Structure 1
């Protein structure tokens, strides 16, 4: 939501390029994470969606850098956004590296019955 609010001040000529791209990639992180959570019964699908979310977060970082270089974001704002992206990326990598902490093990529920 922070990116959405910040991009409201981007130039009108960026509406269908930079503004659209950074909004799409930032929103896609959350959407892919939501999909991963719903696929947690299938570790490979779970990891795949986490990887998609990671890619979108990295893309968002690139758009932030471009917005900074174009003068659309202040340096301190861009650094804060980049830091927040790094936090998200770190969490996504941790989840993908240890999916057993997050996925549903259908075998354990079957063995309890």
Structure 2
């Protein structure tokens, strides 16, 4: 693979981040520096760490960044749950985005296993 943009996990995480921005656009203005910002930062961290890890010299370094990416994904899942609980996200919005996060989680876990097998 010559470019991180060709990775399905990166593409999927970019779509997720775009959808997160759309979903949080209508959160209350008083949340702009709290939950809205935190959700967006967590989502941005996922493709960013996939890309940064891709550029590293070793599989060990790559795995470290992939693990940061999956940790950010778990953080995002938690924050989405909070958004649903306080009714900033509808059940439908939450279910769609959460399913997308679960699919990306499975993809990342599988990819991490592949990288580990190469060592």
Task: Report the TM-score, using the length of structure 2 for normalisation.
Answer: 0.80
- 1:87, CA displacement in angstroms? 1.0
Name the SS for the 1:20 alignment partner: helix
- Cα 1:100–1:66 shift into 2, 3 Å: closer
Residue 37 of structure 1 pairs with residue 75 of structure 2: no
- Structure 2: which 5+ runs fail to align? 1-17
8 Å CA contact 2:23, 2:93 repeated in 1: no
- 1:29, CA displacement in angstroms? 0.3
- 1:46, CA displacement in angstroms? 0.7
Residue 72 of structure 1 pairs with residue 55 of structure 2: no
Given the alignment, which residue of 96, 99, 105 partners 2:112? 96
Cα distance in 2 between the residues matched to 1:33 and 1:3? 18
Q: List per-residue Cα deviations over 1:72-106 (Å, max 9, x = no partner).
A: 111011011111111111111111111067x7x9x
Cα distance in 1 between the residues matched to 2:96 and 2:61? 31
- Structure 1: which 5+ runs fail to align? 106-113
RMSD: 1.6
Residue 54 of structure 1 pairs with residue 66 of structure 2: no
8 Å CA contact 2:63, 2:112 repeated in 1: yes
Figure out how many residues of one structure are paired with residues of the other and give that number: 102
- 1:18, CA displacement in angstroms? 0.2
Task: Report the TM-score, using the length of structure 1 for normalisation.
Answer: 0.84
- 1:13, CA displacement in angstroms? 0.8
